[in-house]
Amino acid sequence: MNETTKARVLFVDDEARILTTMRMLFRGQYEVFTANSGQEALELLKTQPVDVIVSDQRMPGMTGIELLRAARELNTHAMRILLTGYSDLNAIIGSINEGEIFRFINKPWSNEDLTTTVARAVTAARASAAATTHAEGAAPAPGAPPAVLVLDDDAEVPAKIQAILGGDFRVVGATTMDEAVGLLEQERIGVIVSDTRVQDNPVINLIGTLKQHHPELVSVILTERADAGTAIELINQGQVYRFITKPIHDSQCKITVSSALRQHHRLAQTPELTRRYEVAAPVQAPPPGSQTGKLMDRIRGLRTVVKRWV
């Protein structure tokens, strides 16, 4: 698509007043399409390619997650944003595992936040559109594949994941964030598999800082106790790739980690694609000089080390 043409944005909501608000808010800036149901949106997408899809989650007949999952098949390159007015962890996890959401926005939203988010999604869609096709055909990098770093309080989890993945994969384990950063400084890592909390500390700053400064790294979250707020943060500030629920199921784990390694390869070989996984600014950064702050500084210094491996 020519960069001088207006971006095409589709808004989907069963409430007519919200669609009217969207038209008024974005008219003149984008070519705006609207649909009042998931099915209507899918019919439109069969004939009208768009850059960004913004959908409500709770709609009769078809939820936002179901729509965005189907839309991903019809319009691979479109960026996907989910709006919701209620907290539902299963829906949030589904948005990552099935719809690959760029951002999760709570209703009622701030117009400034919404317009900024849509603008970033448009930029990402256009920057990555041409690169996506090229990335699919990229040849594997020479040498041994990168390792999978497993971060979990339970020291037995890395061995369990190694057993599930088999000998074609190399797993290294850490039980603290300090150990994890140390391994990142020493090893060629492609995928991080982490619990939401380690030693009772949330991993959001670690995951978010890694994605910001080292965007080809792909994160998978292990969860058995995550709340909706944590999951939203991990989407918006960490662009996590997938969730794996505990107790770990062998087939889900192997499929997810294999897919994550392929995603790492695509991002490493085609850096333009990383625009699709741009992270939001942290809500609260760790204080400078704190232990967490020092770890984040070490992560920022990883870039030159990691580039040696790619």
Q: What is the pLDDT along the chain (310 residues), one digit of tens a residue?
A: 455 689 999 999 999 999 999 999 999 899 999 999 999 999 999 999 999 999 999 899 999 989 999 998 898 889 999 998 766 667 777 777 776 889 989 888 999 999 999 999 999 998 877 665 555 555 555 566 899 999 999 999 999 999 999 998 999 999 999 999 999 999 999 999 999 999 999 999 899 999 998 999 999 999 876 677 788 888 899 999 999 888 999 999 999 999 999 999 989 988 888 888 888 877 677 777 777 778 888 888 875 444 444 4
Residue 84 in tokens? 């919701």
Q: Crossing angle, helix 89-97 and helix 64-74, to 10 degrees? A: 10
All structural domains of the chain with their residue ranges: 8-136, 147-309
Distance CA 191, CA 1 (A): 33
Q: Are 64 and 58 in contact, with CB atoms under 8 Å apart?
A: yes
The model carries a pTM of: 0.84
Predicted pLDDT of residue 305 = 44
Q: pLDDT tens-digit profile of 152-161?
A: 999 999 999 9
Structural class in CATH, domain 147-309: alpha beta
Give the residue from 8, 20, 22, 40 showing the smallest Cα distance to 83: 22
Q: Which two tokens stand for residue 161?
A: 């994941």
Beta strands 79-84 and 103-106, pairing class: parallel
pLDDT number for residue 52: 97
The reported pLDDT for the residue numbered 292 is 75
Residue that is written with structure tokens 């967490």 in the block: 292
**Span 153-200, pLDDT tens digits:** 999 999 999 999 999 899 999 999 999 999 999 999 999 999 999 999
Where b means 16+ CB within 10 Å and e means fewer, 93-132 reads: bbbbbebbbbbbbbeeeeeeebeebbebbbebbbbbbebb
Q: Per the structure block, which two tokens stand in for 264?
A: 């790492």
What was the pLDDT predicted at 245? 85
The per-residue pLDDT for 141 is: 55
C-beta neighbour count of 69 within 10 angstroms: 18
The H or E element that residue 173 is part of is strand 171-174
The β-bridge partners of 94 are: none
8-136 and 147-309 in the same fold:
yes
Q: Distance (Å, rounded) from C-alpha 296 to C-alpha 210?
A: 8
Cis status, amide bond into 108, omega within 30 of 0: yes
What homologous superfamily does CATH list for 8-136? Response regulator (3.40.50.2300)
Six-digit token string for 78 = 């479109």
141 Cβ neighbours under 8 A, 6+ residues apart: 265, 268, 269, 310
- Cα–Cα distance measured from residue 189 to residue 105, given in angstroms and rounded to the nearest whole number: 31
Decide if 193 contacts 257 (C-beta within 8 A): yes
pLDDT of the residue at 88? 66
- Write down the pLDDT at residue 138: 53
- Angstrom distance (rounded) from CA 94 to CA 24: 30
Provide the pLDDT for residue 223: 85
